[in-house]
Amino acid sequence: MSNSKKIKNKKIIGREEKVMKTVFYALITIFALICLFPFLLLISSSFMNEKEILTEGYKLIPSQISFSAYKFLGSNMTKLANAYKTTITIAVGGTLLGLFLMSMGGYVLCRNDFKFRNQISFFIYFTTLFSGGLIPSYILMVNGLGLKDSLWALILPGLMSPWSIFLMRNFMKSIPDSLYESAAIDGAGDFRIYWKIFMPLSKPSLATIGLFLTLGYWNEWYNAMLYIQSTNKYPLQFFLQKIVTQANVQLLVQQGLSINTADLPSESIKMATAVAAIGPIILVYPFVQKYFVSGLTIGAVKG
């Protein structure tokens, strides 16, 4: 093939690549806007007047901006602050403790010199197929462990995940055995090797699992409904759910408040509570985004 033909083919390939990139970028931009639209609608609807919502429905640009929903949330500022405090406590504590326990489990199961790794892996996998059910779990938490109205009742159920343990195991399998062997020759024990070598190299997997754990604890409300009685221990999602269900005239009258029923933010309060719930946690994702894809895929190349 002559040089002129090679140059011509390169130009054609270059044009095709530019066209494909332009098309792909355009499709990704459209898809991103589609995903962003409900979030923008959520925020704008939280500032809408109740009359406008009832007559015209939810709109991206409200005709009149109203802060009645956020004022309604602000009237419970002390309880809202306690709910944030509870959620942050269980999210941070549960995530750190869960990462520590599941990374240790993954480290043990990835070691070829551990005799019972296959048997223990089977027992962990078995829990994904069968569970004890609600009543045995409730009896265990309340009667067995005595965790009624305790924050540990919110932390312990989400502490361990079979999927996350296997993800850690598969990721740690990709770490060369020569690192373990050289550290063992130098006299390092198993825990020191785990803490000093495997943990720093497992940052992508830890970030991925940590994000899942944090989201799980941040969205916690079901266990709070079962086990938590004190209002000052309500997590954020359960507290906001209470706010939404109690946003009615009868409750406000019982509290000695005088309010116009047309101004009661029964619809916009739903949007405001959603904004209050997802606002802080959405800021966490950018910090772990660079680890997210590698944490899910690198450990998957080995079985």
Rounded Cα–Cα distance for residues 85 and 125 (Å)? 34
Q: Tell me the two tokens of residue 76.
A: 């419970």
What pLDDT score was predicted for residue 69? 77
What pLDDT score was predicted for residue 303? 41
pLDDT in tens, the chain (303 residues): 555 555 555 556 567 778 888 888 899 899 888 888 888 888 888 888 777 777 777 777 887 887 877 777 777 778 888 888 999 999 999 999 999 999 999 999 988 888 888 888 888 888 888 877 888 888 989 898 899 989 999 999 888 888 889 988 888 888 888 888 888 888 888 888 888 888 888 888 888 888 889 888 998 889 999 999 888 889 988 888 877 776 554 445 555 544 454 455 566 777 777 787 777 777 777 766 666 655 455 544 444
Other C-beta atoms closer than 10 Å to the C-beta of 125 total 13
Give whole-number Cα distances, 14 to 1, 2, 242, in Å: 19, 18, 59
DSSP per-residue codes, the chain:
--HHHHHHHHHHHHHHHHHHHHHHHHHHHHHHHHHHHHHHHHHHHHTB-HHHHHHH---SS-SSB--HHHHHHHTTHHHHHHHHHHHHHHHHHHHHHHHHHHHHHHHHHH-TT-TTHHHHHHHHHHTTT----HHHHHHIIIIIS--TT-THHHHGGGS--HHHHHHHHHHHHTS-HHHHHHHHHTT--HHHHIIIIIHHHTHHHHHHHHHHHHHHHHT--HHHHHH---GGG--HHHHHHHHHHT-SHHHHHHTT----GGG--TTHHHHHHHHHHHHHHTTTHHHHHHHHHHHHHGGGG--
What pLDDT score was predicted for residue 208? 84
Q: Are 41 and 271 spatial neighbours (Cβ–Cβ below 8 Å)?
A: no
Q: Are 227 and 153 spatial neighbours (Cβ–Cβ below 8 Å)?
A: yes
Q: Are 156 and 197 spatial neighbours (Cβ–Cβ below 8 Å)?
A: no
Sign of CA dihedral 168, 171, 173, 179: negative
* 172: CB partners within 8 A, 6+ apart: 106, 107, 110, 198, 202, 205, 299
What pLDDT score was predicted for residue 291? 63
Rounded Cα–Cα distance for residues 113 and 98 (Å)? 25
